[in-house]
Structure 1
Amino acid sequence: MDTDLLLSPHSITPMYEQIIAQVVAKVMAGEWKAGAPLPSIRELAAGSRVSVITVKRAYLELERSGVIVTRQGKGSFVAESLDATQMLAAQEFQSQLAGLLEAARKLGLDRRQVLDRVEQALSDEPDKPLIDPDGRKPR
C-alpha cells in the first residue's frame, strides 16, 4: 500500500482536509482496498510532517463518513462496506456536477445548452456502462 500523501502547507485547503481528500481518492481508485490497514496516526503525521492532532482530526472525519473504521488496539482500516465506496463516488459525482453547473453559469449557458452538451459528451463515449455491476469503475 502506497501511504505517501502529497500535502501542501501553501494550499488554502487545511491540511486535515487534504489528508481526507487524498485518502478518499486512494480508496475510490482502488489503491487502498477494503480491509487494508492505514498507517498509524503517528506514522502518517511523521511521514507527512504534520501534527498528530491534524491526522487524528482527518481520521475522525473519515470514520464519521464511513470511509475507514478504527478498531481499539488494532488501528484504522479501510471500511469493508461497498456502501462507503458508493457513497464516496456519489459525493464526488455531486461535487463534479456542482462544478459543471458553476462553469455553465459563468459561460451564460441555459438549461437546454447544458443538457445538449452533456448528451453530446455521453454520445461520444463508447456504449459501455459507466460502472460495473460490482460497483467498481471499469478498467
Structure 2
Amino acid sequence: MASLFCPSSIAKPGAELFGVQNASGHIEYLEESIIVDKTFVETARQGRAPEERFRFASNCAKNGCGHWAGEGAGCGLVGKIVEAMNRKAEATLVACTIRDRCRWFHQQGATACANCDEVVRNLRVQAA
C-alpha cells in the first residue's frame, strides 16, 4: 500500500493543494488537487502564511511528526480534532480528492471528514 497522506501538511514543492479557505473560515475542497511547485510556494508565502489559507497534503511523516502516536495508534492529531469539534458524520460526504489516501480518513472514517473543513495550520512559533 502506498503511503497515506497527512491532510495537514505544509506548503512545499510536491505537496497537493486540495482545499482553499473561504470567507467564512471553512475549507472548500477542489474538484481536482493541484501539485504545487516552488513558484507557487514562494508566491503563496507573500502575506499571510499559505497554511492558514490553503490545505495541503503530502506523505505522512509518521515518526518524523510530533503528532505520531506510534504504528498501532497512528496520527494523534485527528483524534484531538474530532474530540474538540465533536461533529458527527453526514450520510453523504463532500467530495475530497485525497480521501482514499488520507491518514485521518483511514483512522477515523467519515467522522474525520465531518471535522475536517475548519482545520487550518497555524505555523507561528512563540518566542522563547
TM over 0.5: no
* Shorter-chain TM-score tier: under 0.3
Greater per-residue strand proportion: 2
TM-score by length of 2: 0.25
Task: With a CA cutoff of 8 Å and minimum separation of 6, indicate the structure with the bigger relative contact order.
Answer: 2
